[in-house]
Amino acid sequence: MGRKVSPEKKSEIALAALRETDTIAALSTRYGVHANVIYKWKRELVNNASVVFATKQGSSREVDHEAREAELLKKIGELTMERDFLSKGLALPKKAASDD
C-alpha cells in the first residue's frame, strides 16, 4: 500500500506537471510518486479547475457553511413554534374552588 499524500502536496505535484517545466518521469523521481499517479492528479486538476470559479460568494466551504446555517436556523424556528404550540395545549385551565 502506498503512502498517504496530502491534498496540498498533490496539488503542488499536479501544478508542476501542468507547468511542464520537468518531465513526468523527473517529477516522479523527485517526489517519489508513480508517474501514472501524477498523470491522474494532473487530469483531475484540469477537469475540476472550474470548481474554483463556480461560486461568486467565495469558496465552496463558505457556501456549504452558509447553507447549513440557514438550514439550522429554519429548524430552530420550526422547533420553537412546535414547542410554543405544545406548551399552550398542555396548560390546563385552573379549576374554580368549590365550596362544599
Residue-wise pLDDT for 17-57, tens only, equals: 999 999 999 999 999 999 999 999 999 999 888 887 776 55
Q: Domain count of the chain?
A: 2
Check: pTM over 0.75? Answer yes or no.
Answer: no
Q: Do the domain assignments include residue 29?
A: yes
Residues 6+ apart with CB under 8 A from 54: 60
Q: Are 16 and 33 in contact (CB under 8 A)?
A: no
Same domain (yes/no): 46, 67: no
Torsion, CA 8, CA 25, CA 33, CA 13, rounded to 10: 0
Same domain (yes/no): 32, 15: yes
* Residue numbers of the domain that contains 30: 1-52
Q: Do the domain assignments include residue 98?
A: no
Q: Do the domain assignments include residue 94?
A: no
| pLDDT top residue among 63 and 49 | 49
Same domain (yes/no): 5, 44: yes
